[in-house]
Amino acid sequence: MLALNFVASSSDYLLGIDIGGTAIKAAAFSCEGKPLSTRTEPTLDGRLKDGRPAWAVAVRQLVADFAGELAAPARHIGLSAPGLAAADQRSIASLPNRLAGIEGFDWADWLGQRVLVLNDAHAALLGEVWQGAALACRNVVMLTLGTGVGGAAMVDGALLRGHFGRAGHLGHVTVDYSGKTASIFGMPGALEVAIGNYNVGERSGGRFADSSDLLKAAGEGDGAAQAVWEQSVQALGCAIGSFINAFDPEVVVLGGGVAGAGEALWLPLKRVLAKVEWRPFGEGVPVVPAKLGGWAGTFGAAWEAMRAASGAAACR
């Protein structure tokens, strides 16, 4: 009797790489989506190694390390990073003030094989659709509530990219057009001004450094902290209701540190949505926490690289 071999051939794996501000995460998946192995390296933004950006050298090493571990090069590589992906998806076309050298850096040339490059928020949404909180959905809005607010949208089964690849920058949508503070892209009263970690200090008159400080005080009955947080959740709820009217999703996914605040976020957010959401057929749109945490980008990058390859030959 033949011994059936259920283990995928070693050449059949996808690699998803996500370059963040502090860490580079990489994960290998079987073509069916099973996570096989993960690795993390520091980004070392701004440093050089052998005359090259340290992040570039680290990514090349990570790819080699996986090839060693899994005894073959990856069949498909997807790479996500902040900034606007170029139309040919070979590089990041625009990312001012961070990861110097990444603009126009051709990853296929550097790694010696095809690499699909995409925006990190786009990748995170795709990851959640592939194996996360928006599993198999065709209409999705995702917000990542962290230092700033990242966003992405999928409508009618297609991830929205737009003319320059900037579609889905939902943290830079106004929720207060007469607001004095603008987001880094110049939008007054942007959503990330209202709930991003980076300006909790400004919102609280300098009393708190970030959302967890603010929420701790609010939880202990600090009325001023509660009022600040209430405003933030009101802004977030109105923004989500607005995105529902603009994109008509079947699910809204919230990721990032602030989304992990538990009932302090979810209970008041539900109350706001009950007031401001348009519910033409009775039910509201489910608003749910992300499932893949900081690894969502690696999932989405790997999946998109496989999907972008021609159908039948995508995975042998």
- Shortest gap between Cβ of 269 and a second copy (angstroms)? 13
**What is the distance between the alpha carbons of residues 40 and 181, in angstroms, rounded to a whole number?**
36
Asked if residue 170 lies in contact with residue 255, where contact means CB atoms within 8 angstroms, the answer is no
The nearer residue to a second copy, 34 or 279, going by C-beta atoms, is: 279
The nearer residue to a second copy, 251 or 261, going by C-beta atoms, is: 251
- Shortest gap between Cβ of 175 and a second copy (angstroms)? 5
> By C-alpha distance, which of 286, 283, 189 is closest to 239?
189
- Shortest gap between Cβ of 265 and a second copy (angstroms)? 16
Question: Which residues contribute to the site for a second copy (CB under 8 A)?
Answer: 84, 94, 96, 138-139, 151, 153, 155-156, 158, 160-170, 172-178, 182, 185-190, 194, 231, 234-235, 238-239, 241-243, 245-250, 275-278, 280-281, 285
Asked if residue 30 lies in contact with residue 9, where contact means CB atoms within 8 angstroms, the answer is no
Specify whether the backbone of 280 is left (phi greater than 0), alpha (psi in -120 to 50) or beta: alpha
The nearer residue to a second copy, 71 or 185, going by C-beta atoms, is: 185
Task: Report the 10 Å Cβ neighbour count for 225.
Answer: 20
- Shortest gap between Cβ of 315 and a second copy (angstroms)? 25
The nearer residue to a second copy, 6 or 177, going by C-beta atoms, is: 177
Q: Which residue has the tokens 């200090």?
A: 201
DSSP run (H or E) holding 239? helix 223-247
Q: Residue 91: what are its φ and ψ, rounded to 5°? A: -155, 170
Task: Report the 10 Å Cβ neighbour count for 68.
Answer: 9
- Shortest gap between Cβ of 22 and a second copy (angstroms)? 24
Task: Report the 10 Å Cβ neighbour count for 121.
Answer: 26
The HSE-up count of residue 101 (CA atoms within 13 Å, CB side) is 15
Q: Which two tokens stand for residue 149?
A: 């607010």
The nearer residue to a second copy, 241 or 294, going by C-beta atoms, is: 241
The nearer residue to a second copy, 47 or 138, going by C-beta atoms, is: 138
The nearer residue to a second copy, 40 or 94, going by C-beta atoms, is: 94
- Shortest gap between Cβ of 4 and a second copy (angstroms)? 42
